Homo-oligomer: A and B are copies of this chain.
Amino acid sequence: MRQPGRSRRAILEAGFWEIYRQGFRAARVEAILSGTGLTKGALYHHFPTKTALGSAVVDDVIRPRVRDWWLEPLASAPDPIDGLLRVVRGLERDDAPEMLVGGCPVFNLLQELAGVDEPFRRNLVAVLDEWRDAIAAALARGQAAGTVRADLHPDVTAAFLISTYHGLAGTAKAHRSPTVARRLLRSFVRLIETLRAGASPGAAV
């Protein structure tokens, strides 16, 4: 019955959801385990402490998610703007209904721990940086190809886009409303459209 490595994965997955829903500090170890059928002995074997579990969740669950949802699609898209739009529209799909009103995992943790846990914060900011770099690189490629406005700074714009995205994800979470989420996403789409070479200002907001 022993599945080496499988238990660790189960704890990580359950830990992700408990932390996502309750926040890291309010996440209870017992609650994480209750869904897995494992006990504290198992958890303590794989992770020395709750904080270590939290870090592992960031590294082994959240970061891959960001890569799959944002970085990969962007890297493989011929045009960055189209790539961004496809990613953003993917968020509205029913695949992740909880995510639509639960906020972005990275941002949630950052908001909770930025002022309280420095190592945790650094780890999460590293995710943010990787994210921004990927978007900036895509924008630069678009500029080279002539599909993205030449007057904008790729990394400044990338940072602002992520910031804006987190703002609307957080606002949708605040309202707990998919409708609000979709409305804000539409504004976000219009903002992205203004990045296209030769865009007209009227579409901005």
Answer whether A111 and B187 are a contact pair too, CB < 8 Å, given A163-B167, A168-B163, A200-B201. Answer: no
**B-binding segment of A51-59, A85-93, A148-156:** A148-156
Cross-chain contact of A128 among B149, B159, B174 (Cβ < 8 A): B174
B111 touches A151 (CB 8 A): no
**What sequence of 0s and 1s flags, for each residue 142-175 of chain A, a beta carbon within 8 Å of any chain B beta carbon?**
0000000101100011011111111110110111
Size band of the A side of the interface? Answer: 35 or more
Determine the residue in chain B with the shortest Cβ distance to A151.
B202
How many copies of the shown chain assemble into the complex?
4
Q: Would you call the interface of chain A mostly helix, strand, loop, or mixed?
A: helix
A26 touches B116 (CB 8 A): yes
Answer whether A183 and B168 are a contact pair too, CB < 8 Å, given A111-B173, A114-B173. Answer: no
Query: A116 to chain B: which residues have CB within 8 Å?
Result: 22-23, 26
A174 touches B26 (CB 8 A): no
- Scoring A157, A174, A187 by chain B CB atoms within 10 A of each residue's CB, the highest score goes to A174
A115 touches B183 (CB 8 A): no
6 contacts between A and B (CB under 8 A): A159-B187, A165-B167, A167-B168, A191-B204, A200-B201, A201-B204
What residues of chain A have their CB less than 8 Å away from a CB belonging to chain B? Answer: 21-23, 25-26, 102-103, 107-108, 110-112, 114-116, 121, 124-125, 128, 149, 151-152, 156-157, 159-168, 170-171, 173-176, 180, 183-184, 187-188, 191, 194-195, 199-202, 204-205
